[in-house]
Amino acid sequence: MVSMRAFMTLMAVLFLLAQAGFAEGKGTMDRTVVWPSEAGGWKKAGEAVGYRGRAIFDYIDGAGEVFIAFNYRELAVLRYERAGRPPIVAEVYEMGTPQDAFGVFTWDRHDPEAGIGQGSEFGGGMLRLWKGRWFFGVYGEGEGKEQEEAVLEIGRKLAASVAWDGGPPRLMEALPEERRVADSVRFVRSHVLLNQRCFIARENILGLAPDTEAVFARYDLGKERTFLLLVAYPTESRAKSALAAFGRAYELDGTGMVRAEGAWTGARLEGRRLIIVINAPEAGAAVRLMDAAKSRLKEEQ
């Protein structure tokens, strides 16, 4: 898969080449977002170009799958220019919910926090951030302190123009903190994305969909890469079906556990939430991790 840094660079290059954008799939971004007129001497060059739905692939090709997987609605792109200096490209992605914007932002983080919006990072001249249901990318083609400050200013102004209308998925609070690997927490709705970080199965046996939430993290329990995965479904019946499918695929025993290749995997239900541990070094460790998650899920109710 193309990294976030790579496809952000690609998007900037494509926009500069296309200038006016592609005709197919153009739209108008929700007027909730207010584009700054200028920042540090860089001024708006024309109007933003919008790409609705799957037209995002006209702009970023295969990397659009990440956004589609998080209920993406529309992308708007605007260029800022300053005489004698490389341009700055700003991108605004309208996602389905604040949780989706959070998911896109955290999917592939690399750089230090920039203190903008509800979460941000800045490095190599590129700013990424999220606030409410919006994900933003601001990228400068050149180098230098002035351009970096302009990129950050554009990001601050974009973030300030939208409402703070929701936070990360509450399901994340049920992931135990003890021995959790730093920065390993992820949120997904797609089994394709889940498999890229924590492989479950080629088929979508857990029934992940736009109306489900899945959070997972890696835990340091020894030599194995142990994962704890929590999935929330709209109904208990769907959660039970997912548990049954997982049990068949992994051949879980009557206690909901299985030992394979020297590691333990287990699963259990808590209402409409599914708790799964993958690759625990021993059965007791798997059980303790699932019990801890179950207790935190009960507290959440």
Q: Which residue has the higher pLDDT, 143 or 128?
A: 128
CA distance 225 to 260: 14
The strand ranges marked E within 96-220 are 119-123, 126-131, 134-140, 186-188, 213-219
Q: What is the DSSP letter of 209?
A: -
Q: What is the pTM of this model?
A: 0.83
CATH 3.40.1000 residue ranges of the chain are 4-160, 170-300
pLDDT in tens, 53-81: 888 888 887 678 899 999 999 999 999 99
- Measure the CA–CA gap between 120 and 50, rounded to whole angstroms: 23
pLDDT per position as a tens digit, 157-173? 999 999 887 899 999 99
**pLDDT at site 60:** 80
**Partners of residue 217 on adjacent β-strands:** 228
Assess whether pLDDT exceeds 70 at residue 248.
yes
Tokens of 189: 């709705």
Top-tier CATH class for 4-160 = alpha beta
Q: Which fold has domain 170-300?
A: Protein Transport Mog1p; Chain A (3.40.1000)
Residue 19 has pLDDT above 80, yes or no: no
Average pLDDT over residues 47-56: 88
Whether 20 has a pLDDT exceeding 60, the answer reads no
Which residue, 234, 240, 99, is CA-closest to 172? 99
